[in-house]
Amino acid sequence: MGVDHPPVVSMRDVLDHGGSRVQAKYRYITSRCIGKDLDVSSVAVGSGLSGNVFHARRRIGGGQCAVKSFIKGTLNKEETRDLKQEVEIYLTLDHPRIARLEGVYETKSRVHLVMEYLTGGDLADRLLEQDRFTERAARHVTRQILQAICYLHSRGVVHRDVKLENVVYASEDTDDIKLIDFGLSSRWDGTRSLKRACGTITYAAPEVFQHCYTSKADVWSVGVICYALLTGTMPFDGNVKEPSTTILQGLPWTSAFHCLSPNARAFIKLLMCADTSVRPEAAVALRHEWLVSHPERHAPLNRDMLSSLQLFASTSRPQRTQMLIEAWHAPSNLTAQGRAQYLTLCDGEPALTCDRFTSEVVSYFGMRRDEAERLFDALDDDCSGLVSYTRFLAAVFSSQASPDSDHIFASFDVGRYTSCPAVVDCGLRESKSAVHSDPVSSSTVSSCFRGLLRAVCMCDGTLYSASRSEQHVARGQHGTLRAHH
């Protein structure tokens, strides 16, 4: 018989550091093993500091995902602490430029992280294929990385291992990237310096070697990435022990570097400035002339998006919760439009705030400001003062029939609801059969899905008292970002 180990994850710590109660509750699973929901293969799709990442498929719906597993008994105290920090930080993150953590399964002996399945390969592979990037292509990638870093820093998180291998493309036919691997990430309170020297030596800032650094260490790493993309070489080799000395000697500034535009050279030198008082924060770096002189094209906002947001806001909280769960499992190829629209609304900000949302909605659609604020309040279910990325996706999907009917029922546990009169009357099994019939119209899919969703919400209302339901979505009950010690 195996040894029982104490839980690694503390939901109290997740909520205390800004995690959404609803989003965390449905993604942290201790009531069943991962094999009930996923078929995990032996095919490794990636590797990280803590081991391999394996391909998996959902048993219901067949959706693809990536799984990283840990055996508690093989971890020492430091590794257990790192895992706890990785999972608890990851459960609080939700941004288009960060690979989504779809779920965490913890048993008495193991922890499994279920992540978004990205098929485009990492930035190191792309660079190897292309030798070097044009300034236009490097600018596009660098902006996206800084958007991810800016979001992390706004949440009080330092990544500490930003490198080419930890930037992954959503798919082979897109240039949208996502930041991965939070195994070395740490919370930072904005005042006290971090001490632990960690990360990858060729990307590490000089102050990391001195055991005294801040979130600006991530900005240095972005500068290293940008240098590599534009010159095709790394500024430092693996033997470097003091990068600031190398910079003072002028060694990284090669002829390939001097062939870059003045703005590109100035940008890289600023991010790789050894003087941390000169090196900018990520948010400031995003406003550098090299980036803003060639602004990215924003996705157009349209009436369909606004109608979807209004429809989502008008539904009940249990319905919105169910749609949110669906959105967490949506594959990247189905989220491209919503992802672009969310970033357009953010307009350079790390997350979608009330002021930003109302300003953009009033500007684009001529809506009265008080109406836009009421719409925001309805979308901000957890009273965080933000509309999270996945909640926005759920809202955008609310008026659409899924183009892939397999995904519609992906998160419905048939066995759970077979004894519920509301679902039986709705005809759960028959509805699933109807959706999988050929041919099937989008109106049939939408009708079946909406009917089942209403029935499930009714069923959940009978399984859980109204007061308890209200408690777990009550305003003001969710954690907000606090100083981290």
Q: Of the listed 13, 37, 94, 161, which one is catalytic?
A: 161
Distance (Å, rounded) from C-alpha 441 to C-alpha 229? 46
In the Cβ-directed half-sphere of 453, how many Cα atoms lie within 13 Å?
Answer: 23
Q: Which of 361, 391, 396 is nearest to 375 (CA)?
A: 361
Is 84 annotated among the ligand-binding residues?
no
pLDDT at 477: 31
pLDDT at 50: 65
CATH class (in words) of the domain with range 121-293: mainly alpha
Is 161 labeled as catalytic in the residue annotation? yes
Mean pLDDT, rounded, for 99-115: 94
Over the stretch 142-187, which tens digit does the pLDDT of each residue have?
999 999 999 999 999 999 999 999 999 999 999 999 999 999 999 9
Pick the CATH number of 303-398 from 3.40.50.720, 1.10.3720.10, 1.10.238.10, 2.40.340.10: 1.10.238.10
The values of phi and psi at residue 273, to 5°, are -80, 125
Lowest-confidence segment of 131-145, 246-260, 382-396 by average pLDDT: 246-260
Q: Does domain 11-116 have CATH number 3.10.110.10?
A: no
Q: Decide if 11-116 and 121-293 have a common fold.
A: no
Domain ranges of the chain: 11-116, 121-293, 303-398
Over the stretch 410-448, which tens digit does the pLDDT of each residue have?
444 445 445 555 444 444 444 444 444 444 444 444 445
pLDDT at 22: 66
Higher confidence at residue 58 or residue 49?
58
pLDDT class of 26 with cuts at 50, 70, 90: confident
Distance (Å, rounded) from C-alpha 409 to C-alpha 423? 13
DSSP string, 394-416: HHHHTT---SSGGGTTTT--HHH
Instruction: Measure CA 200 to chain center.
Output: 22
**Mean of all residue pLDDT scores within the chain:** 82
Distance (Å, rounded) from C-alpha 297 to C-alpha 309? 23
Residues counted in the chain: 485
pLDDT at 262: 97
Distance (Å, rounded) from C-alpha 350 to C-alpha 91? 17
The values of phi and psi at residue 135, to 5°, are -65, -35
pLDDT at 402: 46
pLDDT at 407: 46
Helix axes 369-379 and 354-365, enclosed angle (nearest 10)? 130
In the DSSP assignment, the letter for residue 90 is: H
Cis amide linkage into residue 439, ω under 30° from 0: yes
Mean pLDDT, rounded, for 242-253: 67
Question: Does residue 470 carry a pLDDT above 50?
Answer: no
Over the stretch 326-374, which tens digit does the pLDDT of each residue have?
898 888 888 999 999 999 999 889 999 999 999 999 999 999 999 999 9
Q: 213: exposed, middle or buried (C-beta count within 10 Å: 0-12, 13-18, 19+)? A: buried
Instruction: Map 104-157 to HEC letters.
Output: EEECCCEEEEEEECCCCCEHHHHHHHHCCCCHHHHHHHHHHHHHHHHHHHHCCE
pLDDT class of 481 with cuts at 50, 70, 90: very low
Over the stretch 65-85, which tens digit does the pLDDT of each residue have?
999 999 999 999 999 999 999
Distance (Å, rounded) from C-alpha 202 to C-alpha 212? 18
| Cβ pair 382, 21 in contact under 8 A | yes
